């Protein structure tokens, strides 16, 4: 997996959160080791299928960061992860993947997106079961951490 | 979402677990209400994309049932959900969706599968964020419960 594939996702995460919530995430060091695991309290996941490749994308947030994004976007500060927060995380997942899809389409990499799924549960972990390379990228914010994970594989 | 779409998944879950692990799951009552939420300790998720539709499938297991399946398949009984268990849940997710894909393909419903993602975390919840109908189906076994959730939507 090369930078052509990864950078559109990194850029889309930062753009979406900056535009929608005036939240500026500070990117950390990407990890491509197999034993790293994305972890968070609420995660959005989406599957991607193209003519030559398939894959999955996830974005995980600490509860406190998810609530801060909610507060900045809608002016509300829920006391915990409720259905409005999971709806918001589903929307962010769609918007980030849609942004990356447009950029990748311009470079000749076409794929379609499945519908997003949102997982909640304190400190849950996400493992992308693909034979292809996986990239985990942490982001820092004073309200908490986010992780994205991207995984692409050849279609069998 | 009609029975043509749902039954192939129900049948595939029972077939895969019966064949692979001699585990006979007893299907419960399907739920199509919006406020039902699939819940478990380890879940496999997969995205699906076809020419006219997109969707997602998940299968969630109680820890004890996942460990029992592992024991029946491989003769090992891990003390908790380790990477072998998550690999197995990813494989089950692939096999169930692949089985349903074949049956649905014969009926003229074509879709491609993304790569599976496995979530772990005590009592986590799964919400499929699709505009289409969602179906949650519980299964009972003496070792614990499983849930599947299927969701299909028109492609935009």
Q: Do the Cβ atoms of B47 and A43 come within 8 Å?
A: no
The phi-psi region of residue B123 (left if phi > 0; otherwise alpha if psi is between -120 and 50; otherwise beta) is: left
> Domain map of chain A by residue range?
3-154
Q: What is the pLDDT of residues B94-131, one digit of tens each?
A: 999 999 999 999 988 899 999 999 999 999 999 999 88
Distances in Å between the alpha carbon of B155 and those of A103, B37, B127?
Answer: 20, 24, 19
B41-100 residue pLDDT tens: 999 999 999 987 899 999 999 999 999 999 999 898 999 999 999 999 999 999 999 999
Classify domain B3-154 at the CATH superfamily level: CheC-like (3.40.1550.10)
Q: How near does any CA of chain B get to the CA of A98, in Å?
A: 12
Nearest C-alpha in A relative to B115: A55
Report CB contact under 8 Å: B121, A117. Answer: no
Please state the φ and ψ torsions of residue A114, each to the nearest 5 degrees. -75, -175
Residue A114's alpha-carbon distances to A97, A111, A125, B46, in angstroms, are 10, 10, 21, 9
* pLDDT band (50, 70, 90) for residue B24: very high
Element (H, E) at A66: helix A63-74
Instruction: Say if the Cβ atoms of B113 and A54 lie within 8 Å.
Output: yes
Return the number of other C-beta atoms located less than 10 Å from residue B41's C-beta.
24
């Amino acid at each position: 997996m090369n930078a052509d594939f990864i950078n559109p996702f990194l850029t889309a995460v930062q753009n979406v959160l900056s535009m929608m919530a005036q939240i500026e995430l500070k990117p950390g060091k990407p990890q491509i080791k197999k034993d790293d695991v994305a972890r968070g309290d609420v995660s959005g996941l989406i599957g991607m299928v193209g003519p030559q490749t398939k894959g999955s994308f996830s974005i995980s947030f600490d509860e406190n960061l998810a609530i801060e994004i909610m507060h900045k976007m809608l002016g509300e500060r829920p006391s915990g992860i409720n259905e409005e927060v999971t709806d918001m995380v589903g929307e962010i997942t769609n918007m980030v993947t849609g942004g990356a899809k447009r950029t990748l389409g311009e470079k000749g990499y076409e794929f379609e997106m499945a519908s997003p799924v949102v997982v909640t549960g304190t400190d849950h972990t996400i493992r992308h079961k693909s034979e292809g390379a996986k990239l985990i990228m942490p982001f820092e914010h004073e309200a908490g951490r986010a992780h994205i994970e991207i995984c692409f594989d050849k279609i069998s």
